[in-house]
Structure 1
Amino acid sequence: MGAIEHLHLPTDEPDAIVWARSLVYDDRIDNKELGLLIHERPSLVADVIAGVGRDRTVRDRIVRKLAHLMESGALNIADSDIHTAGELVERRAVNVEETNPIEFFRQLHGQGWSFAQIGRETGYDGTVISRVFGEKYPGDMDAVREAFQAAQARILGPSRGALVWTRTAELVQEMLNEVRATQFLTVFVGRSGIGKTEAIARYQRRPGAPPILLHTITSTETVSTFLRSLAGQLEIPSSVNVSHLPGAIIEAMKQARFPRLIVLDEVNMLRPRPTQACKILNAVRLINDQVRGGVALLGTVNLFDLVYDPRHQAEVDMIRTRVSLAVRLPEPNDREMAALLHAHIGAITDQVWLAFREGLDAYGAEERSSMRRVAMFLHHLRRIREINSVKGSVNAQQVKAVWRRMRNF
């Protein structure tokens, strides 16, 4: 059964549904926030917007409320911003590919797949599947996710199933939701290349994901460049003096419809420059103290040194006392790397996996656990196959040739 064909959206939906769907899928608002505006449970709103609501009375009630909200102009969204149903069908297909594999099958269930059909795809009994969806399954969830991910890749095919839902990606997204809910400051630490930045990108791309203020720290970062970045994302005029930017940012965030989560990536880049680090981190503290939208700091293990280094206790004490949680992110394991290979190149034999593992093990310990190195391998593999017009399955000789090419660069 082809999954994508089942992910159609009706083209005769009321204007209010198309309007609400465009808001959610364009990240202008999420289902929870929309539910609050019309005094309905977010899960019901989500079902109606997705076209999977089965209770006609509930659906009609929500449609009426959405129509009233649309006609009132309360959200001030221009008609030109509303996507047609056809455009939303395409957007829906892309978004489904970027979901947790269990969520992917949950959406298929909403589109008509039975628990038995999903069970056949994943190798589980239909009763077990219903308990998984109801979050009442006490078994090995790692094994469950692996089965769901493999089934997702089979259904979407190698070219469409390139997402691998790693433990890092899952943990980052779960904790970003937690940071937003608690409005505290959380530190995420993990080796370079394990997928921290990609996890943030996926978090931003989720259907209905609330907006965030994301800034990636560079080796030349100053408090001025940091504040200018936030100001630009909040559409604060560039003519505002740097000394006035903290106040302008705070005011803009207070005026926003929803609190903005601040996410700083590569914060470890500040470690060699503790003076600038303290200025930037304290600017973050000041903003969050006033607005309470939550802050997430991501970086390598050097980020711990920056925040907890006793040599800079006085400078960073104000930020350190506000850290509610420090999360060490897991390194990718063989199962996740194999899933990434499978998602991009299809079925892999034992010989292909052995050749891949031998090539990866030739690098240092940190590179051996780097998803970035795996991504580079896949990039070179695609290029070699394209240049040489290679068709068919990938074999061990091709894998070894890619590693040789990479080592010679």
Structure 2
Amino acid sequence: MSIEIKAPTFPESVADGTVATWHKQPGEAVERDELLVDIETDKVVLEVVAPANGTLKEVFKGEGEVVLSDEVLAIFVEGDVAATAPAAAAPAETAAAAAAGDLIMSPAARKIAEENGVAGADIKATGKDGRVTKEDVVNHLKTGTAKPAAAAPVAAAPVAAPVAGERIEKRVPMTRLRATIAKRLVEAQQNAAMLTTYNEVNMKPVMELRKMYKDQFEKVHGQKLGFMSFFVKAATEALKRFPAVNASLDGNDMVYHGYQDIGVAVSTERGLVVPVLRDTDSMGLAEIEGTIGDFAKRGRDGKLGMDDMQGGTFTITNGGVFGSLMSTPILNPPQTAIMGMHKIQDRPMAVNGQVEILPMMYLALSYDHRMIDGKEAVQFLVTIKNLLEDPARMLLDV
């Protein structure tokens, strides 16, 4: 039975997508739920998987082509994978391969085994005729007995020697995600009265608190205690005290939000994405750390969904993880403010008339002056500074 493989149904905010990568080619046998193609949109990469066991018959949209919501991408023929496989996998030859000691593995099983460096001979086969299934590989990995497969020697491909004096250039099309990021950043600078105020925070109290409790925290909650959760909680408290910083602009209307949804910028190979922590006022440090860690992992794997990145009333970006000492973050419209964290660096500071070496961090708050006055912006950043330099304030709400 033939089945139409269609593009996903895009949300109203996404007009179309681009075919990024075909993982299967026409005539290739496919198992149910195996990845067929990636569709890149302005915000995320969406995966289209096989609806059943069968064969990819014909592809209508090649890599790089634009597709609309629910547009037909390919024709899929449903049927048993073994029955629809190429003639090279005929029963007689399969038996010969088995007799020669070669394992029979499904395509999905072979892919997972190769990705995890598992030798086929180490896997217990439970499929028909001694076939290794995807479940066999997954179960083998769960037992923790997986051994790295011996790497086969690969002959190095000859590399053409560069011509002396040659000036090499490489032209690569901008991805949809990066093009959208660029467009939004330019619009933010053109359409907002953006200013940035700076302050610095002594990180010693937070660092000492973290050092004291990090082992017990991880033991109880199963999460490592980082710095970002402290900044999220401090920002949440400051947003409650300064509603204009937590607001957004909708035309000539100022929309004040009675909740705190904080976006956390995550760097990926395809560009910067901003998944959102919902209702941070009700979240504990462990939940914040766990959610951010999940965002980072799914961001690297291209698994973040539309719902993860929509909305948000405030954004935090951390250039310090890359070594940035100071920067000017750009607004994430329609939000009216964004805070930038930076590198923690020891500096000589005057404390009670004495010079002390303290771990200091610069904080930057970029804000839309059309809605936020300079006084509010400065006081907002000072509030975060005070909360971080005395973390007990966050517990006592003072």
Shorter-chain TM-score: which interval? under 0.3
Question: Which structure is higher in helix share?
Answer: 1
Question: Which structure is higher in strand share?
Answer: 2
Q: TM-score, structure 1 length as denominator?
A: 0.23
Relative contact order: is structure 1 or structure 2 higher (C-alpha 8 Å, sep ≥ 6)? 1
Find the structure with the greater CA-based Rg: 2
